Amino acid sequence: MADERDPAQPELRVSDRERDLVVDQLHRHVTDGSLTLDEFTERVGAALEARTRGELEAVTFDLAPVPMTATRRARARRWVVAVMSGSQAKGRWRVGGSVTAVAVMGGCELDFRKAEIDAPEVHVTAVAVMGGIDIIVPEGIAVELSGLPVMGGKQLKLADVPFLPGSPVISVRAFPIMGGVMVRSKPEPGTPRRQRKEKLSAKPAKPELRQADEPAVAAEAAGTDDGLPIFPDGTVTIMFSDIVGYSAMTERLGDLAAHEVLRAHNAILREEVANGGGHEVKSQGDGFMVAFSSATRGLRCAVAIQKAFEKYSLEHPEEPIVVHIGLHTGEPVRDGSDLLGRSVITASRLSGAAEPGEVLVSSLLHELASSTGEFRFGPPRQAELKGMSTPLTVYPLDWQA
């Protein structure tokens, strides 16, 4: 069809509201299966870059302006099962509001990049028993990972690009038992990552788990081998650390001298958190709250912190720094860049119950970590934690072993 626009008439520029309306339209088409996730991400990127009315119309020119009448479509796939074998769901396949993947001594692959999505949120249940499940999503798609590994592991590896507005949410509950569940993003075939990061210029749908005003230790240090940062979600290990007797130190030394000690403490702790792949959630005074994607990472970092302060104290015997640390594994409530809930309170109380220079962990974290054989713990004891009605069984970590 010939272009009927007057070539002498200048192209009209579009507003943010017009772009948002197109993104909403694309969202409706991806949830009814008219677009795959890859097609959705590509068109949203083009809509966000559009400057004129013609560029914006080109994004949706081949889409029906109103919902089409029902046509015969492939049945939504609800199960992907591999028992001592392999099973895949990839290419153009249809998924409804939920899908379950089970790998028993085998492997499953769920590739959502060309999937037809029938719901604004897809719930994926991934059970890996001595097997592996690989879940792939397009870059810029919001993903939530939760669940509980038992002698196994779960990992979230998303590209460091903003979330696309209006994109469906992929919510994964992982239960690896002596197995593994990996959720990762991959770009559209043939598209360089740098180009994708420039293309997806919308604001993130939810903030990352790091302090925006602090030095960029969390995002940079938490990178994986391929440079993609990992942000803890779902089940995480929480660590609290603070200086023993800091108030008395301030009274003894005065504000200025005590602040210099605090600055040295903060620099050492942040360096070890960065090296250990931790994510600083927040800090207040001499206290820090840090999140880790696994129990072993949290324990390794706690050991490194205690050894670093032991070395500092030997070099500064006139004013040593001694910290006590508490760790607990659980599934906290995420509120923006903060973590809340009972698991966070427990970790905080463990820090308060720890002796000077001690790393104190909950029985749950002890159970998860002891099977690795990497760590040694002292005998258990019962701790009365503030605000908790019953004593908690806790274990001191032998970090000098």
CATH at residue 236: 3.30.70.1230
DSSP single-letter state for residue 13: B
Q: Which of 71-75, 77-81, 228-232, 255-259 has the highest mean pLDDT?
A: 77-81
User: Are residues 144 and 255 located together in one domain of the fold?
Assistant: no
pLDDT digits (tens, 9 = 90+) for 296-313: 999 999 999 999 999 999
User: Are residues 192 and 221 located together in one domain of the fold?
Assistant: no
Predicted TM-score (pTM) of the model is: 0.46
Q: How far apart are CA 15 and CA 33, in angstroms?
A: 28
User: Are residues 189 and 243 located together in one domain of the fold?
Assistant: no
DSSP calls for 256-297:
HHHHHHHHHHHHHHHHHHHHTT-EEEEEETTEEEEEESSHHH
Any domain includes 2: no
pLDDT at 245 over 50: yes
Are the CB atoms for 300 and 273 separated by under 8 Å? no
pLDDT band at 32; cut points 50, 70, 90:
low
pLDDT given for residue 73 in this prediction: 54
Lowest mean pLDDT among 23-32, 55-64, 341-350: 23-32
User: Are residues 270 and 186 located together in one domain of the fold?
Assistant: no
- Between 228 and 348, the higher pLDDT residue: 348
pLDDT given for residue 57 in this prediction: 79
Any domain includes 94: yes
**Containing structural domain, residue 382:** 217-226+228-396
- Between 217 and 100, the higher pLDDT residue: 100
The total number of structural domains that make up the chain? 3
